[in-house]
Amino acid sequence: MVDHDTGADAPPAKPSSPSWSRWVRWTTAVGVLLAIVLVAALTTAVVGVRRSWPQTGGELAISGLEAEVRVGRDDHGIPQIYADSTHDLMLAQGFVHAQDRFYEMDVRRHATAGRLSELFGDAGLETDLVVRTLGWRDVAEKELGLLKPATRSALDAYAEGVNAYLEGRSSSEMSLEYTLLGITGLDYQPEKWSAVDSVAWLKAMAWDLRGNLEEEIGRAVATATVGATRAEDLYPAYPYDERPPVVQQGGVADGVFDQDASGAGAGSLARPPVGGAGAVRALAKVHDVLAGVPALLGRGDGLGSNAWVVDGDHTESGAPILANDPHLGISLPGVWTQVGLHCRTLSPECPYDVAGFSFSGVPGVVIGHNREIAWGFTNLGPDVTDLYVERVTGDEWEYDGQQLPLTRRTERIQVRDGEDVELTVRSTSHGPLLSDLARFADEDGIELTEDGLLDQVDAVADGRQDESAGDVAISLAWTALTPRPTADALLALDRAGDWTSFRKALSAFAVPGQNVVYADTEGHIGYQATGLVPIRRPGNDGRLPAAGWSKDTAWTGEFVPYDALPNVLDPDSGIIATANQAVIDPDRYPPHLTADWDQGYRSERIAQLLAADDELSVEAMSAIQLDDRSAIGEALTPYLLDVDLPRGYYSDGQRLLRSWNYQQDPDSAAAAYFNVVWRELLARTFSDELPKVIQADGGHRWFSVVETLLRRGRSPWWDDVRTDDKIERRSDILREAMVAARDELTALESPSAEEWTWGALHELELRSSTLGESGIGIVERLFNRGGWEVGGGGSLVDATAWDAREGYDVVTAPSMRMVVPMDDLDAARWINLTGASGHAFHPHYTDQTDLWARGETLPWVFSEQAVRRAAEDTLLLTPEG
């Protein structure tokens, strides 16, 4: 490994783990014993547990308010806030968010500022190193100056509300977690909240939804491992003819997207060079470093969403209905918190009457509806990141035949119970050098050996790469590192009242790029793509890391104009469905958005279900969200039924498949058997040739890869290269997978096939990301909840994804579900993955999870009269003094 100079006197201690799940480490055996004793005592003391629970009834005077604010909560603790001014409305939202979830908010702001080590010691160091290198907090501070005055005022008012909650409270009065951290010796009182704390959360959101960075690394490693041709098998192109994109009409005319234009494509783009053996080694190490950054929204192939909207011609009521369920990482508490924000009298000074899902720590509503429009999000996934292989010598880098100085800045990271760490961040014009962090990484997860991967690199390395010219480094170009006023878009969206104001609001939404579906009370439906998408030179299509020394691969500095992004109002079909599939056929749309779309299995199924019913209702839309038909099950099962197995024990699972309807409900024995076969098949087909960083996780891309291979029974992928005396074919691998699956289910569930269930394998475990991963059982039991047996699966409409490399437990899931009928907003339905509260043992900690797991939803009332009727508790916030 190249030991780049970071400016520190000595290398810092290596973090104890690259994982978000291992921040918290007790430092001594005495500390562990003390924690166990005191926690045991605390769990028996109701007053200790309830100390931080919020006041939800009566009156409460808080500083900063101009007039009285009413906060009504329903029987699930969901707040609806009524105020006379925008200032008071946002202040009250900040106060209520802090009441319910301040610890979560505080951990998030430490994460986005690269300050986790201050709370959790060196276990947070790797995350801090990456976040400081990327400069999330610095970018957020610059973005404050770009925001409109009204947005900045709302952020400041929200911060006032959070600080009104903090005023006069000890940390132990804010959450049980602070009490336990205090037992371990942390002397801590939270700082005041600021507007930049809210804006910085948008950087984390952009990072988790950043596009194809993993695919860039994966292609490079795959190419070095098995060659360019076979690597293409693993990254199939999107099948436009089989699975229609979101927008099926229109094109760009005179720089503006016109839904009635014919459009014309720009042709294919050349691929950039990969670099030499050192480049591939550095890329794999960068992959390992980035894996240590906490995925606050989730990570992996299961990260995605469903959203669709239909016009009145397709509904029972004759009015549009909109549905949305974002698929994000699972956590406790969940990513979203529900809220209603209502100005008692609408006016330019107080224009909000909106309800939906928000992020704790951020004012406003992110997804939801107001009295005139509704909207939902899925990740567009544009390619907004590029990795560059750089030639670095000392503190200079090569560009266009010249040696240029690297820019440098120094960061100092405070580490609890340890010495400060000094980090020097070096950057080229493309972006910061991520490879400088490789020396901090835990290398155990990188399987790069001289007699394996690296021996194969030279065959595909670029001829111009001369590693003797200097060290190989990897830099990152990312649109989110350029300050943009995305926060303006969120609050403007809450105020929008028609298609024109909706599109204007989204024009400021820079990162992460999103698909946004739309409906209004006038009967219109629509779609708008958002995001800052770089325009690349012809020598760089973003599919592979590019040669940083060549000016032909650099970004042009221009971005796809917002008005040129795909959008459509009232399409002829009357249906708009987006599930992360391709947005538009490149034959009709010149700008390059990405080559790494979701393969479209979910979107195809959703489109089929929507087209089959022209009298859709709220109930029917909710049922579609729960659809668990497996596309890969339908494709693979006929081949499994043709396998010749011994009768009896080993054919029991095959017998189940003969009557399987491809549905993956939690009680299905056939689904249990199929998914174990699927996991065994992936491991036996690919693990012999692919390094760990690109092993098959079983998501949508692997659906497509295997579906294609099934038609090629003698593909070299079927051969296990570890067996010297045999060349395996498709039938051999299928048989081995089925036999192994039978034995696995016998061990995991029962010798009787009739007793197998998919839910027993596919469980939802909700874990607190800090103390819930402490490694101390009694502490973990305080904060974690689990054991929900659920159906669905990865790349199904009911997208409870699991990672085939790890096991069958849910890793990403629908983080919420909502359905909004535009003729009766009081008839809308919603559900959250967890509850409104972030306080362990609070009645609303996981009270929505049972309903979510059963596929049920809650009433989502909106009108003031209905909200008053639904209120179980009412808190009056009054001006102090």
Average pLDDT over residues 336-349: 97
DSSP codes of every residue in 834-867 = S-S--STT-TTSSTTHHHHHTT--EEE--SHHHH
Strand bridging mode 337-343 / 79-83:
parallel
Largest CA distance in the chain: 86
> Would you say 325 and 335 are in contact if contact means Cβ atoms under 8 Å apart?
no
Name which residue leads in pLDDT, 540 or 80.
Answer: 80
Q: Taking residues 638-661, report their average pLDDT.
A: 97
Give tens-digit pLDDT for 585-604: 999 898 999 999 999 999 99
Q: What percent of the chain has pLDDT over 90?
A: 77
- Determine if the peptide bond prior to 382 is cis (ω within 30°): no
At position 871, the amino acid (one-letter code) is A
Give the pLDDT confidence score for residue 266 in this predicted structure. Answer: 40
- Parallel, antiparallel, or unpaired: how do β-strands 304-310 and 575-578 relate? antiparallel
pLDDT of residue 49 exceeding 50, the answer is yes
Give residue 185's pLDDT band: very low, low, confident or very high (50, 70, 90): confident
Residues 563-588 have pLDDT tens digits of 999 999 999 999 999 999 999 999 98
Stated pTM of the model: 0.92
| pLDDT at residue 475 is higher than 50 | yes
Residue 255, pLDDT score:
86
How far is 134 from 139, CA to CA, in rounded Å? 9
Distance of CA 846 to the CA centre of its chain: 21
Mean pLDDT of 715-741: 96
278 falls in which pLDDT band (50, 70, 90)? confident
Spatial CA neighbour of 668 closest among 658, 656, 652? 656
**Residue among 338, 363, 423 nearest 197 (CA):** 363
What residues have CB less than 8 Å from 310, skipping those under 6 apart?
Answer: 320, 321, 525, 574, 575, 576, 610, 616
- Best CA proximity match to 304, nearest among 595, 679, 662, 701: 701
Q: How far apart are CA 839 and CA 101, in angstroms?
A: 7
- The least confident of 249-253, 418-422, 467-471, 640-644 is 467-471
d(CA 798, CA 624) in angstroms, rounded, equals: 8
Angle between helical axes of 136-144 and 125-134 (0-180°, round to 10): 40
Choose, from 17, 52, 85, 305, the residue flagged as catalytic. 305
Read off the pLDDT of residues 57-91 as tens digits, 9 standing for 90 and up: 999 999 999 999 999 999 999 999 999 999 999 99
Statement: residue 297 has pLDDT above 70:
no
Reply yes or no on domain 631-662+669-756 having CATH 3.10.20: no
Q: Which residue has the higher pLDDT, 718 or 271?
A: 718
Domain ranges of the chain: 631-662+669-756
CA–CA gap between residue 797 and residue 606 (Å, rounded): 7
The gap from C-alpha 712 to its chain's centroid, in whole angstroms, comes to 34
Please choose, from the candidates 108, 104, 102, the residue with its C-alpha nearest in 3D space to the C-alpha of residue 167: 102
Binding residues for Ca(2+): 216, 383, 386
- CA 552 from chain centre, in angstroms, equals 32
Least confident span in 144-158, 299-313, 351-365: 299-313
Residue 731, pLDDT score: 96
pLDDT confidence bin for 285, thresholds 50/70/90: confident
**Residue positions in the annotated binding site?**
216, 383, 386
**Is 435 annotated as catalytic?**
no
What does the alpha-carbon distance between residue 685 and residue 726 come to, in Å, rounded to a whole number? 14
- Residue 275's pLDDT band, with cuts at 50, 70 and 90, is low
- Please tell me the distance from the alpha carbon of residue 700 to that of residue 797, in angstroms, as a whole number: 12
Dump pLDDT digits (tens) for 494-503.
999 999 999 9
Q: Which of 47-51, 91-95, 178-182, 303-307 shows the highest mean pLDDT?
A: 91-95
Q: What is the mean pLDDT of residues 493-519?
A: 97
Nearest to 830 by CA among 622, 627, 609: 622
| pLDDT value of position 292 | 65
Q: Give the pLDDT score at 302.
A: 59
pLDDT for residue 676: 98
In DSSP terms, which residues pair with 474 in a beta bridge?
389
- As a whole number, mean pLDDT of residues 650-667 equals 98
Q: Is the model's pLDDT at 452 over the cut of 70? A: no
- Please say if the pLDDT value at position 651 is more than 80: yes
Instruction: At 16, list the tokens.
Output: 């104890």
Q: What is the mean pLDDT of the chain?
A: 89
Residue 166 clears pLDDT 50, i.e. is over it? yes
List, for residues 1-43, the tens digit of each pLDDT value. 333 333 333 333 333 333 444 444 444 344 554 555 566 555 5
Give CA–CA dist 33/585, Å, rounded. 61
Exposure b/e, 77-89, CB count within 10 A at least 16 = b? bbbbbbbbbbbbb
